[in-house]
Chains A and B, each alone.
Chain A
Amino acid sequence: MLAKVKDMFVMNFRAGYYDPINDRWVEAVIPNDAIESQDGFPGQGMPLLWLLNANEGSGYPLRVVNFLCGYAHRRDVYAAVIVPGDIEGFRDANNDGQPDDVNGDGVIDDNDLVVDVDAYGFTYGPIWDNAGRPIDPPGDWGYIPQFWGPPVIEIDVGYIRSDQQDQRRNLGGLTELQALTWIVGHELGHTVLWHQPAYGHHAGNTTFDCLIWQWMDWRANPPTEFCAINPGCQTRWKVNP
């Protein structure tokens, strides 16, 4: 695979696929178009995404990708993994980059989850650690106990579709593809802007032109790239430092 320095690898877990054993199509939960469609991300201010097939092989899905640049192995990188889900999350009330120990037992685990996050998408961790290396692979699956680790993105597809079909909420008449690319693009942004304040949420003036603005308001003409100025989110990526 030949990729440029600011390209990204993404796995769509639970994409639709053909099951030859049972001779049937298994329906997609998150369509691949939400990640790779040029209709979704036509702008320049978005990393080029290489879609990997999460159904290939077996075992640990946070696969290390052999990143070739200029026909040479450049380094190993992780692919962001997009999964459908029903989102709850941790609190990070003081924004210190660590989840809060809600029940006060000294351990961050499932028991610290709260469900007052009214979110379409949620990111569990960055592609790179602060030193610019791929994150250390957890020994176990360990999504929750080792939170702030794997670059896993959870997308609440049912919630998004429900609001997309609701004319009282979907005022701009956005298509499912527009809504999903907005949310997927935003969360991919968190994986490469994790080191920035508020995990990279846009803080400048041109908020509605930037994928990493923190709210989705179902307006017409949704953002399809990261801003170049104010504060210039696309220049703050840590894609492959």
Chain B
Amino acid sequence: MKPQRLVMFVVVTATICAVITAVSGQKFKATPEVTEKLKEAYALLEQGQPERALAVALPIYRKDPEIWVAWWPKWVFRVVKELPPDPYAKSEIMHRGIEGGQPLLLIARKTTNARRIVAYALFDLGRYQEALPIFEEMQRRIANAPAIGPDMAGRCRQLIAQGYRPPQPPPKNTWRPLPLKFREEDYFILVPLDQACKILGLSCTITTNPKMAGGKGIRIVKPDVPNIVYRLFLGRPLVERLENGKGQTETLAYAPYEEDGVVWVPFYWLAKQAGIKGWEVRDGKIYVAPKQGTK
């Protein structure tokens, strides 16, 4: 092929590819690599590790703040009878969720973007001055939409004016490893419930109960607050908090599941109930900050 023809071929091919991409693709759909990074940052933020979440999301935010991702958490595939649709196909998800008898799809899909993760990570770290312009930008984007959102920009201004600094966990050289096995799924750290409860000083019971989602009744009690009972459900990303017989539903960032008789639960939630203020995975172990008043 002559050089001129080769150049023409390349130009025409590239133009066609660009047109096809623009017409059929989602402008902001992420690559698999970016998708994994944002999933990881999302999980870190949800598990109370904003510093690491920021480190993962910031390069993506700086490169393309519009990028967003959608995915089905792995636990969803354990509980649905047929494969869920493309996580970006919103119409199909709503159709199957509302009319197709698969309402779980409506609440199970996860989405996020780099801008949101960076803003909330900065907020959780107490860097309100840096978070403020990002929240202002986010709020500008829904100012004219038929929607209601949190006034995070207003909250930042309030905290800046107060000079507020969030409490810091103890220095990491005081953190100790837990003798607890764990596994990672969708970047969430999951631990065997019965073992974790023993180590963290929580009381838990797991009983067979066909009336509960997943066929198991799971109850957790903090020994120092015996009038509050937490109920977990296999395959449901929520917790029911019963206080003196009155219930309230709370959110769980990852649904528990059972495998070979072991119930796996997100560690961050158990750590929160146990009063642990900081934790991280290092060298294949879970390290936790000492509780206040302990060495």
Q: Does B152 contact A (CB under 8 A)?
A: yes
State A27–B103 Cα separation when bound (angstroms). 12
Interface of B is mostly: mixed
Check A27 against B238 for contact (C-beta < 8 Å). Answer: yes
Query: Closest CB-CB distance, A175 to chain B, in whole Å?
Result: 8
State A113–B109 Cα separation when bound (angstroms). 15
Tell me which of B23, B145, B248 contacts A89 (CB under 8 A).
Answer: B145
Tell me which of B23, B91, B152, B251 contacts A118 (CB under 8 A).
Answer: B152
Check B109 against A86 for contact (C-beta < 8 Å). Answer: yes
State A102–B27 Cα separation when bound (angstroms). 7
Q: What are the residues of chain B within 8 A of A187 when measuring CB–CB? A: 146-148
Query: Closest CB-CB distance, B253 to chain A, in whole Å?
Result: 8
- Known A-B contacts A115-B70, A116-B66, A141-B99; A122 and B146 likewise in contact (beta carbons under 8 Å): yes
Check B236 against A88 for contact (C-beta < 8 Å). Answer: no
Q: Which of B100-158 contact A (CB under 8 A)?
A: 103, 106-107, 109-113, 115-116, 138-139, 141-152, 154-155
Closest residue of B by beta carbon distance from A104: B22
Query: Closest CB-CB distance, A176 to chain B, in whole Å?
Result: 6
Q: What are the residues of chain A within 8 A of B237 when measuring CB–CB? A: 158
State A122–B211 Cα separation when bound (angstroms). 34
Q: Does A143 contact B (CB under 8 A)?
A: yes
Tell me which of B152, B210, B251 contacts A162 (CB under 8 A).
Answer: B251
Check B249 against A176 for contact (C-beta < 8 Å). Answer: yes
Q: What are the residues of chain B within 8 A of A144 when measuring CB–CB? A: 90-91, 94
Check B99 against A214 for contact (C-beta < 8 Å). Answer: no
Q: Does B244 contact A (CB under 8 A)?
A: no
State A120–B88 Cα separation when bound (angstroms). 19
Interface of A is mostly: loop
Q: Does A52 contact B (CB under 8 A)?
A: no
A1-9, A41-49, A163-171: which lies at the interface: A163-171
Q: What are the residues of chain A within 8 A of B70 when measuring CB–CB? A: 88, 115
Q: What are the residues of chain A within 8 A of B97 when measuring CB–CB? A: 83, 85
- Known A-B contacts A85-B94, A103-B26; A115 and B148 likewise in contact (beta carbons under 8 Å): no
Check B147 against A122 for contact (C-beta < 8 Å). Answer: yes
Closest residue of B by beta carbon distance from A162: B251
Q: What are the residues of chain A within 8 A of B166 when measuring CB–CB? A: 168
Closest residue of A by beta carbon distance from B150: A216
- Known A-B contacts A163-B150, A187-B148; A118 and B90 likewise in contact (beta carbons under 8 Å): no
Check B95 against A14 for contact (C-beta < 8 Å). Answer: no
Q: Which of B45-84 contact A (CB under 8 A)?
A: 66, 68, 70
Q: List 16 A-B contacts (CB under 8 A).
A: A24-B211, A88-B70, A88-B111, A113-B88, A116-B66, A116-B113, A118-B116, A118-B139, A118-B152, A121-B148, A123-B147, A145-B91, A158-B107, A168-B166, A176-B249, A199-B146
